[in-house]
Amino acid sequence: MNFDERKYVLITAVVFICIVFILRLFWIQVVDTSWTARAADISERKITVFPSRGLIYDRDGELLVANTPVYDIMVVPREVKDLDTLGLSRLLNVPLDQVRERLRKAREYSIWKPSEFERQITSGQYAAISVHLYKYPGFYGQSRTLRTYPPHLGAHMLGYLSEVNASKVEQDPYYKPGDVIGVGGLESFYEKDLRGKRGVKYVVVDVHNNVQGPFKNGQFDTLAYAGKNLYTSIDIRMQALGEQLMRNKKGSIVALDPRTGEVLALVSSPTYDPELLVGRVRNTNYRKLQQDSLTPLFDRALQAQYPPGSIFKLPQAAIALQEGVINLNTGFACNTALVGCHSHPNARTVEEAVQMSCNPYFYHVFKRVIEQGKTNDRFTDAALGMAEWKTYMESFGFGHPLALDLPAVKGGSIPGTAYYNKVYGDRAWAFSNIYSLSIGQGEVLVVPMQMANLAAIFANRGYYYDPHVVRAIGNPDSLNTHVARHETLVDDKWFPPIVEGMRRVVNEPGGTARRARIPGITVCGKTGTAQNPHGKDHAVFIAFAPLDDPRIAIAVYVENSGFGGTWAAPIASLCMEQYLTDSISRPELLQQMLDADLIATEGNYKKFVSKRRRQ
């Protein structure tokens, strides 16, 4: 090979090598961004900027849920050098074995990316820690906010925050490991509105892990957008009174504005301070609450399903009038051979039957609804009657969850022929087997929210609006205009006489809830006593006020407390008076309700029953 030929070979080889280098540089700098990220990690740090979560207010603008700043300690494993694990353990108050375990997990996740090492350190604690962090290369603080609850009320309604689980991270790309998410209550239902949108900030750090300033004057930073505020319909004063009145009692209080469906108070008892589920102590406190025999985590207002007792007589009367099987002047004898009852005169009208809550009366009413003689076969006739009765009851909001803006709302149960056939066998729905439904016993179940909604229906004389807690999102003036109105299948003309009976229940001799009277305000109500096979009966009371311009409808359910007029009615009365007048005119009654410990009484009652059974 001569010189010219060797020259061309050499030139070709050099050109080929240059092309290879150029293509490789193009790949590294343009196509494969991982190398760019790795180079950037040497001098810059990406910091997630967590948005402030939206605040939650009551109907008068008082804060129910606020934010307080906290700090997470982050670690970038690649930057950790000569780590004094014992010193770090003492600084952060983290067990030494946990320090090593967390570092191991962080390295497994990524040696380049930051991982959470310790979460939710208060501002005061971080101030003491931050001055020592320079001794621990690779560790730095990152701010975020935690929830705080200024009134310390409404735990079940508000919900709480918890670390997002792995399945949620897989389902929703918004969330990253270590993020928090709303659990239960408004925090969960309005999660997307409350959470806001996170941002990113890039900073330059030196070899000692000290921040030197923004990277390229912040041109690559993105802003965090705060979550939207929620403006609720809750009256914090009535909510506070309700929780005080239900202390040492098991049950619930639900209050609505019948004109709008707005929830005014939502009390479940026993309850807990929502601050217990905030910060580093959340998991410990949650386990304690979960193990408590009184089940304070259980939301009785929305999830407890009870027999409604005698409040069920109100829709029974309305359905019978609509069907024409009774009229306003229909009377029945109080025949206790049919079903037990308390001592009172015979009810000669629907109004008197409601006033005196006569069980045999409504036995006859229900029988006439179910057995109308539409066919000659009594079983077919009863099946037709029961199907129609079930449809009526569902129009009163029973048998299905109400469209409430809170999660995990139960719907109770309105049994039909299919249910009885499945559970008890063919034709078990004959009237002789189901007559206990006439007085709200047997297989029918409702939740307290449905009881309050029933009171709202009679306050409105035949219709209700979807109950809801949040009035506006983002702007207090942007009121929710998408609340549906629901008409029952009973004509409005049949409600006034039943409402008159409810007025007599509270205000006339022979009424079963005279302890619910409020000076200067006409209250309409209905008591109920729900049988409890495991102990003392449960007490229920529903009411609305005032008679001619109802502004509040309420249901109070007190477990294991006996007759509805003894405890449930006065508790409801005090709550209504607080809301309507912003005062309490009966301090003796208030103190009596506050002092009552029905949980202790329940315990003594169970011991007594157990002793008698052994004897």
Domains of the chain: 45-232 (3.90.1310.10), 236-614 (3.40.710.10)
- DSSP character at residue 521: B
pLDDT of residue 207: 54
Task: With a cut of 60, say whether residue 41 has pLDDT above it.
Answer: no
Q: Is the dihedral of CA 132, 134, 139, 141 positive or negative?
A: positive
Q: Report pTM.
A: 0.83
Task: With a cut of 90, say whether residue 19 has pLDDT above it.
Answer: no
Instruction: Quote the crossing angle between the two packed helices 495-507 and 448-459, to the nearest 10°.
Output: 110
Instruction: Quote the crossing angle between the two packed helices 359-370 and 313-323, to the nearest 10°.
Output: 40
pLDDT of residue 350: 94
Q: Which of residues 26 and 611 earns the better pLDDT score?
A: 26
- DSSP character at residue 30: I
Task: With a cut of 60, say whether residue 34 has pLDDT above it.
Answer: no
Task: Give the model confidence (pLDDT) of 131-177 as tens digits.
Answer: 898 889 889 888 878 889 999 999 999 999 888 888 888 888 888 87
At residue 27, the 3 state secondary structure works out as: helix
Task: Give the model confidence (pLDDT) of 591-607 as tens digits.
Answer: 999 999 988 765 443 44
Q: How far is C-alpha 480 from the geometric centre of its chain's CA atoms?
A: 19
Contacting residues for 361 by C-beta, under 8 A, at least 6 apart = 331, 332, 334, 347, 353
Prior bond of 270 cis (ω within 30°): yes
β-strands 56-57, 230-232: how paired? parallel
Task: With a cut of 70, say whether residue 219 has pLDDT above it.
Answer: no
pLDDT of residue 185: 95
Q: Which of residues 512 and 269 earns the better pLDDT score?
A: 269
Contacting residues for 16 by C-beta, under 8 A, at least 6 apart = none
Given pLDDT bands bounded at 50, 70 and 90, which one contains residue 210? low
Contacting residues for 357 by C-beta, under 8 A, at least 6 apart = 310, 313, 342, 505, 512, 526, 527
With CA atoms as reference, report the closest residue to 239 among 278, 274, 202, 204: 274
Task: Give the model confidence (pLDDT) of 179-200 as tens digits.
Answer: 888 999 999 999 999 988 877 7
Output the CA torsion 169→174→180→181 (10° steps).
Answer: -90
Tokens of 120: 């939710």
pLDDT, the chain, mean:
86
β-strands 470-473, 230-232: how paired? antiparallel
Calculate mean pLDDT across residues 560-584.
Answer: 91
At residue 246, the 3 state secondary structure works out as: coil
Question: How would you write 62-111 as a 3-class SS string?
Answer: CEEEEEEEEEEEEECHHHCCCCCHHHHHHHHCCCHHHHHHHHHHHHHHCC
Given pLDDT bands bounded at 50, 70 and 90, which one contains residue 4? low
Instruction: Give residue for tokens 């914090």.
Output: 236
Calculate mean pLDDT across residues 405-422.
Answer: 90
Prior bond of 150 cis (ω within 30°): no
Calculate mean pLDDT across residues 68-72.
Answer: 87
Task: Give the model confidence (pLDDT) of 455-490 as tens digits.
Answer: 999 999 999 999 999 999 998 887 776 789 999 999
Looking at the DSSP bridge assignments, the partners of residue 33 are none
Output the CA torsion 403→184→122→173 (10° steps).
Answer: -90
Calculate mean pLDDT across residues 508-524.
Answer: 90
Contacting residues for 569 by C-beta, under 8 A, at least 6 apart = 506, 513, 515, 516, 525, 527, 541, 543, 556
